[in-house]
Structure 1
Amino acid sequence: MGLDLTVLGCATPYPSADNPCSGYLVSTGDTRLWMDAGTGTLGPLQRHTKLQDVDAIWISHLHADHSADLLTAYYALLFADVERGPIPLLGPPGIADRLAGFLTNGPERSPVESAFEITELHDGHQATVGSMRLTTAAVEHGIPAFAVRIEAGSSLTYSGDSAPCDSLVELARGTDVLLCEAESATKSEVHHTPEDAGETAEAAGAGRLIVTHVGRFVTPQDAVSRASSRYGGPVDFASPTPARGGLTR
């Protein structure tokens, strides 16, 4: 059994007409993980699974283009037609108070813990979601930010938002697929360039590279070409998935 990756969106820093911000559905067997919940991703998530069938949500960092749809998921879980208990939510330190700060509009704090069973991430955090094993590593983004390696027969490593760093290379060592951001057109202290993504994949010995979160000043075709100049394996762009995701194995 391997992993299926469905791209819900990968735009930055705001959604385009046909591409939400960062969000992915990772699934294997009957296990479903919503990985990053950027602006607009809850809609396409429902093309592939129901919110009540999501086993857990994993959030790389608290910038809105990776987490804003937690706010709409909160209303769906507590005040609409979604019937289930709190969804396990793994996210950066302070995620509960950040959500409550946005959602509270009165004297009483909004009950975010009634919608989400929250676990704060840390470097080296490990978790099991159904048949998936998740290992989290801290990465360089100027704020608390994390990458994750997911294993269930095959392996998928997701960079979140990060500058090139040793911790990401080590996390991705020998991974079947590296889903790596390539936001910056030029060198950055908080993001990869496409060339950086290729170098990270090469250093990690990844079997395949998928560039994602490509900035507005680089085309997907250019991002793939530039990444390929530094990495000898297959390179793809994370186009939003209209149907079931392709196998990572």
Structure 2
Amino acid sequence: MKLTIVGCTGSFPGPGSPASCYLLTADSGGRRWKIVLDLGSGALGALQRYTDLEDIDAIFLSHLHPDHCMDLCGLHVAVHWKPGGWGRGRIPVWGPAATADRLATAYGLPLDPGMHEDFEFASWSARHPVKVGPFTVTPYAVNHPIEEAYALRVECRQELEDGTVKESVLAYSGDTDSCPELVEAARDSDFFLCEAAFEEGRDDDIKDVHLTGKRAGEAAVEAGAGRLLLTHIPVWTDTTKVLNEAREVFGEKVAAAVAGVHYQL
């Protein structure tokens, strides 16, 4: 499984990166599968550097704040109005129950049909897995101020050409403060992609919104994660500071996400 950091700036796009968007790719059954975790503000343009939009097999939304979902409005245009027609069927989109209506409202469309002609919307049910090709995605309800917010556990099972099977696990926090469900989502993961929007000492009075580097490190330790990649770092948060916070707790297998970087799991 390959992870591509399409966008990783928190809360709104920054000068060097769009908002949250991550592309996962894996070969299985004689073809290449591609899924997208979140499609936040500014991400659609950057995503096209790494894949043809018609090759997307499914999109998984952690929650409905604009920095995690709003570029589905642009993708709607790409699907609906492509000259000559869209080359595939509707794109499956998994997200909170309000996803279809929220996006139609954002674009100024009537709720019926909204974007249903372009996307096959399905709603999350906490801890109920969804399978797409070699990927199994399981949502865990987490601690963030919106109706539904989820961390996503992505398990990938690939049958290789030599007959062996490769299994890998990536956990993605979405947006959350500390909670037991985040730890469960990341349990024994090979790679923990975890937000760290807040700084210790600066944001101590703000509860139940975001993690600091320290709290991300604590969750990774409790989960037994193999590696920790901090993401969703806003322009006003010091990346070096949150990295140091995480390292003091988790150790040296910590890095900060950078748009355009690829990781092989």
1:72-106 CA distance string (max 9 Å, x none): 0000011025422110000011101111112235x
Counterpart secondary structure, 1:141? coil
Unaligned ranges ≥5, structure 1 = none
Letter of the structure 1 residue corresponding to residue 80 of structure 2:
L
Matched, 1:193 2:207: no
- What TM-score do the two structures reach when normalised by structure 2? 0.88
Q: Cα distance, 1:12 vs. partner?
A: 2.1
Query: Is the contact between residue 14 and residue 234 of structure 2 (CA under 8 Å) also seen in structure 1?
Result: no
In structure 1, the residue matched to 2:138 is 135
The answer as to 2:261 corresponding to 1:239 is no
Q: 2: distance between equivalents of 1:166 and 1:108?
A: 36
Q: Is 2:189 the partner of 1:175?
A: yes
SS in 2 for 1:201: helix
Counterpart CA distance in 2 for 1:53 and 1:15 is 25
Q: Please list the CA deviations of residues 189-208 of structure 1 after superposition, one character each: whole Å capped at 9, or x if unmatched.
A: 21101100000000100000
Moved more, 64-73 or 94-103: 94-103
Deviation of the 1:110 alpha carbon: 4.7
1:85 corresponds, among 85, 89, 100, to 89
Look up the SS of the partner of 1:6 in the other structure. strand
1-structure distance, mates of 2:126, 2:250: 27
RMSD value over aligned CA atoms? Answer: 1.5
How many Å separate the matches in 1 of 2:100 and 2:259? 29
- Say if 2:249 is the partner of 1:218: no
> 2:50 aligns to what?
48
Q: Which segments of 5 or more consecutive residues in structure 2 lack a partner in the other structure?
A: 157-166
Deviation at 1:215, TM superposition (A): 2.7
Of 111, 115, 120, the residue aligned with 1:112 is: 115
TM-score normalised to structure 1 length: 0.93
Alpha-carbon distance in structure 1 between the residues aligned to 2:221 and 2:138: 21
Pairing 1:100–2:104 present: yes
Match of 1:19 among 17, 20, 27: 17
C-alpha distance in 1 between matches for 2:16 and 2:181: 33
What residue identity is the alignment partner of 1:157? A
Residue number among 26, 29, 32 corresponding to 1:28 in the alignment: 26
Rate the CA distance shift 1:6–1:200 in 2: closer, same or farther, 3 A: same
SS at 1:246's partner residue? Answer: strand
- 1:201–1:209 CA contact under 8 A, matched in 2: yes
Give 3-state SS (helix, strand or coil) of 1:167's partner: helix
Identity of aligned residues (%): 39
Tell me, yes or no, if the aligned pair for 1:77 and 1:84 is still in contact at 8 Å.
no
Q: State the 4+ residue runs in structure 1 displaced beyond 3 angstroms.
A: 107-111
Residues 104, 110 of structure 1: 8 Å contact kept: no
Matched positions, count: 243
